[in-house]
Structure 1
Amino acid sequence: MRIWKRMLFIILVVVAATAGYYGYSFYQFAQDIQEPNVITPPPLDGGAATKAAEIPQWDGNDRVNILLMGVDRRGMKNNGLPRSDSMMLVSIDPVTKRYDLFSILRDTYVDIPGNGSSRINAAIVEGGPQLAMKTVSQFTGLPVDRYVITDFEGFKALIDAVGGVELDVEKNMYYHDPTDKGVYDINLKKGLQHLDGNKALQYVRFRHDATSDYTRTERQRKLLAAVADQMKKGTTLLQLPMILKEVTPYVQTNISALDMLKLSALGLNLDTQNPGEYQLPPMGMFRESRQAGSVLVPDVEEVQTFIRQKLQPAVADTNASVTDEGTKSSTPQ
């Protein structure tokens, strides 16, 4: 009996120590990636960024919208802000355990509050993450006050930290990048394969298709869904402290530690097999214009209606099915 008591005591100590280690790792990560940092340094004019403490605490029940931005920091000097290479809005419904991904084409020509009209990826250059969120919110009609930013190196670090991802590369992809002495060249072969961070970055950056950015954003959503699925695996969760340490230098956010904890718990229950995946603006809801340099001018009202329809449950269809069933059952046989 004494031996069993000792064993139980040892187990409890190990569990407590492990929980403390994981908790400390998560807390430290949440503190280290708060804005501003190396991704987007403090503004030269001394303006204050929106801190996590200033954002209303998420109650864990309402839909939350988070702007994900991948930036290209190559060639950045001093306090220069990086270009937004990709923009994706993830909308999470805690009730249905569903998330929807909206890829925003970077050539979308919209109103940038206080800065006139321009490509949507110029918002972060003009006013940092805060202006980017405000611009996306105005464009989509959704409240957006949380964001996450990473750069090329951060993306690679994340994929490597989770052990890579299994992905079916739909075709051969090759592109020689004249910058950085070929460091960011793309050379992928068609077929199901295990992609490390470098190969995964090549996959999401390739845009030399007939439909250019349209197809590229599809690949970005496909890879992000694969990463979300990978993160739910037991072995990946055990490696969480190491993963957080690896990506810390390359991530910036304004999401508070408490909200991160809630989102992490929710993430374990999200349906990662069937996320909603959409392009903004959708085909047929924009016109191309060369007056401002080959941009896409969206019909904002149509786009916002499209988003609302995708996020709202098909109540009408459900009621119609019930009515149909009721009609059938009452029909004499």
Structure 2
Amino acid sequence: MPQEKPDLRNLAEPVRFKRALTLLLMTLVLPGSAQIAAGSKRAGRWAWRVIFGIVAIIVFLVLLSLVWRSGTINLLVSPKTLRLVQILLILLAIGWAALFVDAYRLGRPLTLERNHRLTASIVDGVLVVLVMSVLIYGSTIVSAQRDFVASVFGNGQKSKADKGRYNVLLLGGDSGADRIGTRPDSITMASVDAETGRTVLIGLPRNMAKIPFPAGTEMAKQFPHGFEWKNCGHDCYLNGVYTWAMGHKQFFPGVKEPGLLATSQAVEGITGMKVNYYVLIDIAGFQHLLDAVGGITVDVGKKVPIGGIGGPIKGYIQPGRNQHLDGYHAMWFARSRAGASDYERMTRQKCVMTAMLNQLSPQKVLTKFQAIASASKEVVQTNIPAGELGTFTDLALDSKKLPVSSFSPVPPLIHTGDPDFALVRTKVAEAISKSEALDKAASDGNGKKSNTPSKAPTKPATSGKPTGSPSKPSTDVDDVASICKA
């Protein structure tokens, strides 16, 4: 014969109090367990099914990431997936809170003494607020991620790796009230090995003249003999290509940003390499992004002015090792031209890029994600499609393990006023070959490339350590960590 449940009033009051707290803690550790033990077993089983389903999905994603990391990242950053996760987190918050309320009811609070009933009520309320706050906060992070992906990354066309490399044009756009439009004063091509992530930074002088363009492009039709003053005025340098194209949009029907297209074609003409994607960063707003990540630590090789060139010098970034720079000072460290050549500034910018690559750990990005996402929407513009985020995140993680090489076509090797572009392309090809040789030396027995750091010409940078600035530019293929020293 079925037996009736014992009357809890027959238990000692301290025992009833411990029972009520235990049910709440059981719900915290394993939602649904309180219902299985003392309430509706059906409700408890449904809660367990949900938990085990979530655990199974997490385990599946972890295993998938081991064999297909880029695909897993692409799946996780998809706006549809993020929307689903956001809704799921909100539902979990509501469901878990309901289980706490039910566990409190199962503890029979009316059978407890006043002080014990008050304690149980407070514990239940704290746990409800704690769990809901964590899950709702998680949903806001997911929402920020979804908004970030939708705002910065689009549905552009996927560009296949060219000769085993992704070439991403990094532009630092300097716009302001005293300038007409945006002028990319920082122009760097990041050539990334599509398998290992090993990267070569090719820094291009903003004052490079007589720029050739690939045959068949609109810019080549407009400037068959290169970007010369006879055709474009007295501002016919590499950083003026963007401004010219934006002022002549009639030659680029259907193109939203002709300046970016023209600049990409200019870089292709200079280097002889295909540009897969571009990333344009507003230097004036760059400080907000760096503030969001807590700044960077660099070695400053010489005193760097803050301001100057059209305005007063407001101060200096003092030389020294392990200088921690906030967004404002890091921006001027990369941007300052007073008392320095363009080539020195180019190398400082490489140092900033390398510092960010080495010092921005996934943990830091995660903990500061909302601030980073908010700042990035304001300062970053790119044509990298959202579907390629996994690919480049995967490569970035590999790249952190390897030294970054660099090459700059600057004097005395290259005269920027009348460049020998055949020599530039030869040196670029040599830089790429030298970088790829390091991967070949590290190949495994199956002939596949390895992202294990191989013996490099100089000591590579390590994550978290400062990156500094040089006083002299380098035209050779060097480990950037060896260049950026005080």
**How would you bin the TM-score normalised by the shorter chain?**
0.7 to 0.9
Deviation at 1:70, TM superposition (A): 1.0
Aligned to 2:126: none
Q: Is the 8 A contact 2:293 2:360 kept in 1?
A: yes
User: What is the CA–CA distance in structure 1 between the aligned matches of 2:263 and 2:308, rounded to whole Å?
Assistant: 27
Aligned to 2:298: 167
1:223 Cα deviation (Å)? 1.0
Unaligned runs of 5+ in 1: 35-51, 288-294, 319-333
Q: In the alignment, does 2:148 pair up with 1:29?
A: yes
2:212 partner letter: D
Q: 1:81 offset after TM fit, Å? A: 2.7
Show the 5 A alignment for 1:90-101.
90-101=190-201
Q: Secondary structure at the match of 2:31?
A: helix
Q: Is 1:137 aligned to 2:268, yes or no?
A: yes
Residue in 1 aligned with 2:414?
Answer: 286
The separation in 2 between residues aligned to 1:301 and 1:244, in whole angstroms, is: 41
Task: Please tell me whether the aligned partners of residues 139 and 304 of structure 1 are also in contact (alpha carbons under 8 angstroms).
Answer: yes
* Change in 2 beyond 3 A, CA 1:303/1:74: same
The answer for the alignment partner of 1:314 in structure 2 is 437
Counterpart position of 2:166: 64
**1:96-140 deviation per Cα after TM superposition (whole angstroms, max 9, x unaligned):** 221111111111111352244231111111221010001101111
Match of 1:157 among 282, 288, 291: 288
Q: In the alignment, which residue of structure 2 is the partner of 1:229?
A: 358
Q: Which of 24, 28, 31 in structure 2 is aligned with 1:6?
A: 31
Q: Which has the higher helix share?
A: 2
Which whole-Å CA distance do the structure 1 matches of 2:317 and 2:212 have between them? 37
**Paired letter, 2:414:** F
Is contact 1:65–1:92 with CA below 8 Å preserved after alignment?
yes
Distance 2:204 2:328 in 1: 23
- Which is further off, 109-118 or 98-107? 109-118
Provide the C-alpha distance between the structure 2 equivalents of 1:270 and 1:18, rounded to a whole number of angstroms: 31
Corresponding residue number in structure 1 for 2:450: none
- Identity, % of aligned positions: 26
CA distance change for structure 1 residues 302 and 256 in 2, over 3 Å: closer, same or farther? same
Q: Which of 83, 86, 98 is the equivalent residue of 2:186?
A: 86
Aligned amino acid, residue 301 of structure 1: A
- Quote the Cα distance in structure 2 between the aligned partners of 1:303 and 1:247: 33
Equivalent in the alignment of 1:147: 278
The structure with higher relative contact order (CA 8 Å, sep 6+) is: 1
Q: Which residue of 2 aligns with 1:43?
A: none
Deviation of 1:142 (Å) = 0.9
Which aligned pairs between 1:241-320 and structure 2 lie closer than 5 A?
A: 241-271=370-400, 274-279=403-408, 281-287=409-415, 295-312=416-433, 313-314=436-437
Q: CA deviation at 1:231?
A: 1.9
Return the alpha-carbon distance in structure 2 between the equivalents of residues 157 and 194 of structure 1: 16
1-structure distance, mates of 2:417, 2:309: 27
Which of the pair has more CA radius of gyration? 2
**Match of residue 123 from structure 1:** 241
Q: How many residues are aligned here?
A: 289
1:296–1:271 Cα change, 3 Å? farther
Taking structure 2 as the reference length, what is the TM-score of the superposition? 0.53
Give per-residue Cα distances to partners, 1:19-59, cap 9 Å, x unaligned.
7655543332232235xxxxxxxxxxxxxxxxx54523557
SS at match of 2:168: strand
CA contact (8 A) 2:175 2:284 kept: no
Query: In 1, distance between residues paired with 2:183 and 2:401?
Result: 29
Q: How far 1:261 moved relative to its partner?
A: 3.4
Query: Which amino acid in structure 2 is aligned with residue 123 of structure 1?
Result: V
Q: Structure 2: how far apart are the matches of 1:308 and 1:91?
A: 11
Residue 62 of structure 1 deviates from its aligned partner by: 4.1
Contact 1:57/1:259 (8 A) holds in 2: no
Answer whether contact 1:67 1:147 (CA < 8 A) is retained. yes
Change (3 A) 1:261 1:76: farther
CA distance in 2, matches of 1:249, 1:108: 29
Unaligned stretches of 5+ residues in structure 2: 1-22, 33-47, 56-91, 93-130, 214-218, 228-235, 246-258, 442-486
CA-atom RMSD, angstroms? 3.4
Higher strand share: 1
Give the aligned partner of residue 177 of structure 2: 75
User: How far apart are residue 297 of structure 1 and its match?
Assistant: 2.1
